[in-house]
Amino acid sequence: MDKHPGHEEKHATPDSRKSSDNDADDSAKPSKADLARLKLRLIAHYAMLGFAPAVAVLALIIAVTAVTGKQSGQEQISKADAKIDSLNASLSASVNELEKLKAAIAQGKTIQEDRTTKIIQSVTQLQLIVHVSPTLEDELRQSAQAPVASTAAAPAAEAADKKSGLRAK
C-alpha cells in the first residue's frame, strides 16, 4: 500500500511518529532536490490554505455590505474597502514570496546540473588521459539510451515467451 507522508502525519499518534522517524533515519537520506520539492509543496499547501479564509472573509464582507448597505453608510463601506485592500496586500505578498522561492529552487537546480556536468567532463578528461574505456560520459550516454531500447524490446520478448509457452503445453 502506497502512503503519502503528509497523510500519515495527520492520523499518526506521537508514538507512531517516533517509530516512523526511526524508520526514516534507517532509510536513505532524501536529496537536496527532494527536500526543496517537499519545502515547496509545504509552502504551496499553506498558501492554498490561506486562500480559502481570504475568500471567505471577502465573501463575508460583501455579504455584510449587501445586507446592511442601506443602513451602513460611507464609513462602513470604506472600512470594508480597507479590509479588502489589506487582504489583497497580504495575499499578493504571499504570492510574491512563493514566486521568489520557486525562482530560488529553479536556480539551485540549474547550479546543481551545471556542477554535475562539469564533474562528468572533468572525470571524462582524466579517463581519456589515463586511457580508460569506456569513459563516464559514454556510460551515461549508454544508460540514457538503454531504457528506450529496453521498452522497444519488451513487447517482442513477451511475444516470444507466449509462443514458447504455447508450444510447451
| Confidence bin at 108 (pLDDT 50/70/90) | very high
119 shares its domain with 57 = yes
- The answer to the question of residue 83 being in a domain is yes
88 shares its domain with 139 = no
> Which domain, by its residues, includes 97?
30-132
Number of residues in the chain: 169
The CA–CA distances, whole Å, from 74 to 23, 57, 69, 81, 152 equal: 61, 20, 9, 10, 72
| Region of poorest pLDDT, from 71-75, 98-102, 136-140, 159-163 | 159-163
Distance, in Å, from the CA atom of 102 to the CA atom of 97, rounded to the nearest integer, reads 9
156, amino acid identity: A
146 shares its domain with 125 = no
| Confidence bin at 62 (pLDDT 50/70/90) | confident
Peptide bond into 53 cis (omega under 30): no
pLDDT digits (tens, 9 = 90+) for 67-90: 766 665 677 778 888 999 998 999
38 shares its domain with 110 = yes
83 shares its domain with 156 = no
**Whether pLDDT at 156 is above 70:** no
pLDDT digits (tens, 9 = 90+) for 94-103: 999 999 999 9
- The answer to the question of residue 13 being in a domain is no
147 shares its domain with 74 = no
Q: Is the distance from CB of 105 to CB of 40 less than 8 angstroms?
A: yes
pTM: 0.37
How many structural domains are present in the chain?
2
Q: Is the distance from CB of 20 to CB of 6 less than 8 angstroms?
A: no
39 shares its domain with 118 = yes
